[in-house]
Amino acid sequence: MADETDAAPPPTLLAAASVVPPETAAPPETAASEEVLTVLDVAPPVTEKEVSPQKPPPPPEEVVAVVDSEKKVPQNLVSFKEESNRLADLSESERRALEELKQSVQEALRNGIFTSQPQPPPPPPPPQSAEKPPEKIEEASEKREPNPVAESEISTQEESAKDENVKPTPNPTIESILKHESPTQEDVSIWGIPLLKDERSDMILLKFLRAREFKVKEAFAMLKNTIFWRKEFGIDALVDDDLGEHLEKVVFMHGFDRDGHPVCYNVYGEFQNKELYQKTFSDEEKRMKFLRWRIQFLERSIRKLDFTPGGVNTIFQVNDLKNSPGPGKWELRQATKQALQLLQDNYPEFVAKQVFINVPWWYLAFYMMISPFLTQRTKSKFVFASPAKSAKTLFKYISPEQVPIQYGGLSVDYCDCNPDFGIADPVTEITVKPSTKQTVEILVSEQCVIVWEVRVVGWEVAYGAEFIPDAEDEYTVVVQKATKMAPTDDPVMCNSFKIKELGKIVITIDNPTSKKKKLLYRFKKILALILLYVLVLAFPSMYILLLHGWLFIDIMLTLYIYECYTACVEHICCIFTSVWFP
């Protein structure tokens, strides 16, 4: 990849470097479902003959979306093709390569190749001189004739000494022969999966084969080098080490993409903090500590993947380049090159997609420079999005309810202050056209409390909500007065309304700009008992009051029952006395 050139590599230090080549995702299609979407043109179309300089502009188009609160919100599934990890889907040549690699691994395990240290390469032979060494001149005076009698006596003495020291060897037993011919097979695990123990091992071997285009010898060499590196780096012990949490905002896992891949976010803008940058990259020791932390994070994430056939065993990478340090940071460049080499050599085929968001101009220019040196397979793995299109690009691969709120979605960590919605609550997406008023109607068929969340990425629109009852003699209730929302306002608006009679909630978004806007909303009904639970979570002090209230009611009810019981006993006693003692 990028480390193949002399220029600074792209900032993929926080993401795994070897990726699976998915195809470009198709745009989301509207799913036919239980939700009813109707589009009404309120303003009549204006023909060319009617247009005149003095005539005022036509009113904005109004679009109405009617949603039944009883129906589930449909979800658009956008997927990209990924190479199958099912053995039945492999071609004949790929299956043959897998079997050959398994045989090579089996032989290596039997012979203990993975546990022995790799031999260093032999030193190069010394250069041969063209000149021949001078021949030694033997002096005739030093030559002596051998004495055959003396030599025979010496050889006889040596043979007798050998006979005295030689001891008879016992006959080998069957157990020793079997032990010698069948050595104990070593156990080697990688990413927590023992090699050749179950079907998960095939998924590991497939990754190495794909990284080397199903060339068995090269894949085996890569696997062997990875096993040696893991032992040298101490990976198994590194997984359990405590390396601190000061980088938890730099790299974190959050949600899943539309195909079920866990999503890893790499936030390079955090390194704009000079203190954090110096603490991480100022010298070689700190850069190595950061590298160990990053590998530990990757190892822990990989061990949570599903390596069974058909399971999800790759990660979706999102790289946020907003406010990222430029190419002039020498320390970051050095750490990047070192990390890329390790990730390419030892973590093959672990990334499903690489999406770069908030991409600055200098990064695009740099990518155009190194693009000719990258293969088509590598280039097909990358997706780039400018700051204006980052949220739209993420929604193409990740559902809005799974996207963190700082990246345009509605996903926040569950907390007591916002217990209404979670990552499992689906979100509906609507594109609001320029100079258009979008209306969403939520039909309500029972008495309950309706809670909804609304977000327009970038705002610059007017937002309002009201309840319109079905009865003609009832009044419309304004829930949210129409308010102009600026980009600096709260990214998400949350409202609720208690429904006492049948009707509908009408949400209005007025887009006066010349740009398309992405509207996100979701809603749910909360019954009385659930509402009480939510209030208790939101206000813990209310729990004490309710507890005291229930205790008071319980005590009063107990006293009342006791009084009734006492009165009944007295009444029975009076009757008994009047009968037997008139």
* Nearest Cα to Cα of residue 490 among 463, 459, 451: 459
Residue 387: CATH number of its domain: 3.40.525.10
70 occurs within a structural domain: no
Per-residue pLDDT of the chain (582 residues), as tens digits, is: 433 333 334 454 444 433 333 333 344 443 333 343 433 333 334 434 444 444 555 565 666 776 665 544 333 333 345 778 888 889 999 999 999 999 999 999 998 888 766 555 556 666 554 444 444 444 444 444 555 544 455 455 555 544 555 445 455 444 444 344 434 556 889 999 999 999 999 999 999 999 999 999 999 999 999 999 999 999 989 999 888 888 889 999 999 999 999 999 999 899 888 888 888 888 889 999 999 999 999 999 999 999 999 999 999 999 999 988 876 778 887 887 888 888 889 999 998 999 999 998 888 887 888 778 766 767 788 999 999 899 999 999 999 999 999 999 998 764 445 567 888 889 999 999 999 999 999 998 888 899 999 999 989 999 999 999 998 888 999 999 999 999 988 899 999 999 988 999 999 999 999 999 999 999 998 865 454 555 555 555 555 555 555 555 555 555 556 565 555 555 555 544 444 444
Domain count, the chain: 4
pLDDT at position 478, please?
94
Q: From the CB of residue 549, how many other CB atoms can be counted at a distance below 10 Å? A: 10
- Do 460 and 495 lie in one domain? The reply is yes
CB 135 within 8 A of CB 209: no
Q: Is residue 463 part of a domain?
A: yes
Q: Are residues 299 and 360 in the same domain?
A: yes
Q: Tell me whether residue 301 is in a domain.
A: yes
Q: What pLDDT, on the 0 to 100 scale, is given for residue 454?
A: 94
User: Same domain, yes or no, for 485 and 363?
Assistant: no
| Predicted pLDDT of residue 108 | 92
Matching residue, tokens 């803008």: 269
Range of the domain at 564: 539-580
194 and 251 in a single domain? The answer is no
Q: What is the CATH number of the domain that holds 509?
A: 2.60.120.680
The side-by-side arrangement of strands in the sheet containing 315-320 is 251-256, 262-267, 315-320, 351-357, 382-384
CATH of the domain at 195: 1.10.8.20
Would you give the end-to-end CA distance of the chain in angstroms?
Answer: 112
Residue 176, in any domain of the structure: no
Strands 315-320 and 351-357: parallel
CA 178 – CA 181 distance, rounded (Å): 5
Pair 468, 503 in one domain: yes
d(CA 241, CA 507): 51
151 domain residue, yes or no: no
Where a domain ends, among 233, 253, 269? 233
370 shares a domain with 312: yes
What are the structure tokens assigned to 521, written together?
A: 């909303």
422 within a domain of the structure (yes/no): no
Phi/psi of residue 148, nearest 5 degrees = -65, -30
- Centroid of chain to Cα 104: 33
Are the C-beta atoms of 201 and 194 separated by less than 8 Å?
yes
372 and 473 within one domain: no
How far CA 252 is from CA of 293, 320, 570, in Å, comes to 12, 12, 73
The angle at the Cα of 403, spanning 327 to 248, to the nearest 5 degrees, equals: 55
Residue 263 inside a domain? The answer is yes
Q: Looking at the structure, do residues 359 and 265 belong to the same domain, yes or no? A: yes
In terms of C-beta density within 10 A (0-12 exposed, 13-18 middle, 19 or more buried), how is residue 66 classed? middle
Q: What is the pLDDT of residue 447?
A: 87
254 with 215, same domain: the answer is: no
Examine the domain organization and report whether 365 and 453 are in the same domain. Answer: no
Q: Which helix (H) or strand (E) holds 252?
A: strand 251-256
Q: Are residues 569 and 458 in the same domain?
A: no
Does the pTM surpass 0.75? The reply is no
Is 576 inside a domain boundary?
Answer: yes
Among candidate residues 173, 207, 233, the one where a domain is terminated: 233
Domain identity same for 258 and 391: yes
What's the full length of the chain, in residues? Answer: 582
- Partner residues linked to 432 by β-bridges: 517
